[in-house]
Chains A and B, each alone.
Chain A
Amino acid sequence: MNGLLGAFLLKDFNTFFDNYKLTNILASEALLALEHFIPVLNEFFDLCDDLTEEMVRDAKVSWYSYTNITPSGDYIRAKSMHYNEPSFSDVSINMSEEEFDDYNTYDGTCFGKVFYLYLIINAVINDRIITPILYR
């Protein structure tokens, strides 16, 4: 992960971004991402049985603008200002084989926008079209 934009404790999320917005302009994609940040992160941590609420509240969050740690080495960006324009990459995302029946995929991948990245979800496997379900 590269291009550090900021770091904060998860419990200080609101204070950090209230202050950040006073001195920085965020693209509409970024503002939408902030609205969904806490609920989707909670959903993710609910999958980790060994984490307590207290551990998560004290977690340190580092916020980055781009990364190239994907298998393709592509630069994935999630920046409000990249050469004077917002840049939020569209990417394909690998879905686990166990979950194939839960999603429509395209050769086993889904698509989305990284919101700071978006994604797209959809697929056809072996010419069999699978009913699209976004959430399990």
Chain B
Amino acid sequence: MLINVKIENSHSFDLALVRWYDFRYKNDVRRLYKYDCPLLQITDAYNVVPVESIVELIQVIQRAEHPNEHFVNIYMF
């Protein structure tokens, strides 16, 4: 969710509720990347972060026939 939270006579926050990805095989150094792209899985971890901390859009591509395995396309930047 993208929200602005205004607290009267105090702060105003622009926030994004995000769900994190993490490395799919984080305990296996050789499998962190595939084809030079980070190999990720979606987690059940959620946070709100300031919108200003978002750098840019990325392209996440599901790995064929592997549920919950995703590449980050690092070649589009």
Contact = CB atoms under 8 A, between A and B. Distances in A.
A60 B6 contact: yes
B57 A44 contact: no
Q: Per DSSP, are chain A's interface residues mostly helix, strand or loop, or mixed?
A: mixed
B75 to A, nearest CB: 14
B68 interface: no
Interface string B12-37: 01111111111100100100100000
A124 interface: yes
Interface residues of A, number: 63
Question: In the complex, which range does the number of interface residues on chain B fall in?
Answer: 35 or more
Given A76-B2, A104-B22, A118-B42, A94 B58 contact: no
15 contacts: A1-B51, A40-B47, A43-B48, A59-B8, A67-B2, A92-B54, A111-B38, A112-B19, A113-B21, A121-B22, A122-B23, A129-B29, A129-B32, A134-B20, A135-B45
A117 B11 CA distance: 23
Contacts, number: 204
A69 B51 CA distance: 8
A134 B49 CA distance: 13
Given A40-B46, A111-B38, A115-B46, 16 more contacts: A33-B46, A34-B1, A41-B5, A58-B7, A59-B6, A60-B5, A62-B3, A63-B2, A67-B14, A69-B52, A72-B55, A110-B20, A119-B49, A120-B72, A122-B38, A122-B40
B23 A104 contact: yes
A8 B2 CA distance: 14
Nearest to A66: B2
